[in-house]
Amino acid sequence: MKDILTIAMPKGRIFEDAVELLRQAGFRLPPEFDDSRKLIIDVPEESFRFILAKPMDVPTYVEHGVADIGIAGKDVMLEEERVVYELLDLKISACYLAVAGLPNTKMNLIAPKVATKYPNVAAAYFREQGEQVEIIKLNGSIELAPLIGLADRIVDIVSTGRTLKENGLVEYERIVDITSRLIVNPASFRMKDERISELVERLSEVKRLQSFETL
C-alpha cells in the first residue's frame, strides 16, 4: 500500500473542479468517476484511492493520516486549524467569506449576534475589529438567521452574491478571499515524497500554463 496515494476530497463544486484539474494534469480518471455514489473510489491505473467526504472533514482525515493528501477550501483550513502542510494553491472554486445582513440595519449595541458555520473565523474577525459579539453556530441556511431575528449579521461564503440577493440580504464587509488548497499529512510527506512531489509538479504546471493563457 506504500505506493498508493489516498486523497480526501469534498463532493460538490470543489470535487468537480479538482477532477478536471487532475485530468488536465494527465491523470487517468475513468468517466464514471464523476457520477459515482461510492464514498471510497479506487483508481488502480494511477495508484490512487479517493475518499469522498464533507468539506469540513477533509483536513481531519489528512491530519490523522487516513488520507495522505486532501483538497480543501481555505475557509475550512482557517476554521479547522489542523496540523497539515499546505502545498499548493490550486486556485479553483474561488469565493470569499463576508459579513452580510438585512439592508440599512445596524448591529444591536447591547447584545450583537452573528450566525455562521465558521465560528472560529467569525470570532477572530470581530475581535480584530474590536467588537464583542455572540457567535451562533449554524450548519445550514445561514441566510435565514437575520430574516427570523436570530442574528444581526451572518458570516458566510459568497460566490456570486445571488443567494444573498434572493433572500433580501446585502454584503457589509469582505473578510478573506478563498480558493482550494492541496494539503498533505506531515508523515506522508516524508514517506511518499516522490509521488507527492510528482503530483504537485504536474498540478503546478497546469496552473502555470493556465496563468500564461490568461495574460
H, E, C per residue of 54-89: CHHHHHHHHHCCCCCEEEEEHHHHHHHCCCCEEEEE
pLDDT at 37: 81
pLDDT reading at 2 higher than 70: no
Instruction: Summarize pLDDT for 62-105 with one digit per residue, the tens.
Output: 999 999 999 999 999 999 999 999 999 999 999 999 999 999 99
pLDDT at 214: 61
For residue 9, the SS3 value is strand
- In angstroms, rounded to a whole number, what is the distance separating the alpha carbons of residues 181 and 93? 10
pLDDT at 187: 96
pLDDT reading at 213 higher than 70: no
Per-residue confidence at 1, pLDDT binned at 50, 70, 90?
very low
In the chain the domains, ranked by start, together with CATH numbers, are: 5-93+179-214 (3.40.190.10), 95-177 (3.40.190.10)
pLDDT at 105: 93
Instruction: Summarize pLDDT for 125-176 with one digit per residue, the tens.
Output: 999 999 999 999 999 899 999 999 999 999 999 999 999 999 999 999 999 9
pLDDT at 211: 74
In whole numbers, what is the pLDDT of the chain averaged over residues? 93
The beta-carbon contacts of 127-130 under 8 Å, at least 24 apart in sequence, are none
Per-residue confidence at 197, pLDDT binned at 50, 70, 90?
very high
For residue 168, the SS3 value is coil
- In angstroms, rounded to a whole number, what is the distance separating the alpha carbons of residues 69 and 3? 13
Percent of the chain with pLDDT over 90: 86
pLDDT reading at 215 higher than 60: no
- C-alpha cell at position 132: 464583542
At CA 170, angle to CA 165 and CA 172, rounded to 5? 150
Cell 480543501 belongs to residue: 72
pLDDT at 140: 86
- C-alpha cell at position 143: 441566510
User: Is the Cα torsion angle 12, 15, 21, 27 positive or negative in sign?
Assistant: negative
pLDDT reading at 61 higher than 90: yes
